[in-house]
Amino acid sequence: MSRIFIALLLATAWLDAYAQSAPPPQPIPRDGSCPSGYYASDKYCVPTSSAKFAIKRDGSCPSGYYGSDKYCVAATDSAKAVIPRAGRVEGSKRDSNGVT
């Protein structure tokens, strides 16, 4: 019984760690030059076999990511998953139309 419990505990820990890591690289909309490990194809940046997950850059890159032109690229395959920011951070200055 304890072996099954330990196996389930280890499997849960592994799945939790995997679920939080960055997803595999995928094509992203192109905005100027493509990030490291990607090549331009029409309106997209397409990952090569050595590419890491990348998101469009909005300010500074999150921990575990580095800036590559207008993108943030995962520094390693085990970088944490991130969600691109939408909108502005609370407390940013906006005019009466909601524009910063």
pLDDT reading at 29 higher than 70: yes
- β-strand partners of 80: 21
Q: CB of 71 within 8 A of CB of 65?
A: no
Rounded mean pLDDT, 59-70: 93
The per-residue pLDDT for 81 is: 87
Rounded mean pLDDT, 47-76: 94
- β-strand partners of 54: 73
* Run of H or E residues at 10: helix 2-20
Boundaries of every domain in the chain: 2-74
